[in-house]
Amino acid sequence: MVFEIERLPKRQRQQQLAKAIEENPFITDDDLMRTFQVSIQTIRLDRLELGIPELRERIKLMAEQSYDQVRSLPLHEVIGDVIDLQLDKSGISMFEIADEHVFSRTKIARGHHIFSQANSLAVALINDQIALTAAADIRFVRPVKLGEKCIAKAYVRSISKGKAKVEVFTYVGDEVVFQGNFIIYHSTKDRTEGGEPDADSD
């Protein structure tokens, strides 16, 4: 079978491919293949020539380069791969839905896995050895299916003595699939007000 003739000149395609990956480090080779309408082999060769690693390696590199040390729980207890973590500010994790996370008949993810990703990331954000979820207001926007990659983005909206408010949005691609507002109790008593700004901030 002859692959479809490439729509863009190689150099131009590679420039756009590099830009697409820079804008969305979580994009897969399959997504790139569909975007540029070339074969998967062409995408892989382009990445090799550009020196861009595959998705899993990109995630590892991001994690090694850009997160603070988790204090509130062991890193392996955070559900998903932590991509970025700035204590008391914000964090990102990725969680791929596998067979063990779904209902066998529908191939839809069990809700507690989606919640656990968001909840553990919210706790991991807190710069304290003791941090516990006190309350959670959550909303499942749509079902998540086998093979989908959930990107959770967490933001500390406010933090004071003994309590933090953390907002988490979970995405599949550009679509929000879960939203949660968590109140996290922590043990530090001399905390000053902080957190990421939002509509309620000065």
Enumerate the H helices of 9-110 as residue ranges: 10-23, 29-36, 40-50, 55-66
For tokens 């990725």, what's the residue?
A: 94
Same domain, 31 and 85: no
Same domain, 48 and 91: no
Supply the mean pLDDT for the chain: 86
Q: What is the CATH number of the domain that holds 109?
A: 3.10.129.10
For residues 158-178, give the mean pLDDT: 95
Same domain, 116 and 170: yes
In a domain, 126, yes or no: yes
Same domain, 44 and 97: no
More confident residue, 108 or 23: 108
Same domain, 109 and 172: yes
More confident residue, 148 or 202: 148
Same domain, 42 and 71: no
Same domain, 79 and 134: yes
Same domain, 84 and 149: yes
DSSP E strands: which ranges in 105-174? 131-140, 149-160, 163-172
Closest to 98 in 3D by CA, of 85, 84, 83, 117 = 117
In a domain, 45, yes or no: yes
Helix (H, G, I), strand (E, B) or coil at 123: helix
DSSP code of residue 101: G
- What's the structural domain count of the chain? 2
- At 137-163, the pLDDT tens digits run 999 999 999 999 999 999 999 998 889
Candidate from 18-32, 60-74, 102-116, 148-162 with smallest mean pLDDT:
60-74
Q: What is the CATH number of the domain that holds 35?
A: 1.10.10.10
More confident residue, 74 or 117: 117
Same domain, 116 and 175: yes
In a domain, 3, yes or no: no
Domain extent for 71: 66-186
Q: Cα separation of 36 and 45, whole Å? A: 13
Q: Other CB atoms closer than 10 Å to residue 60's CB: what's the count?
A: 13
In a domain, 191, yes or no: no
Same domain, 101 and 173: yes
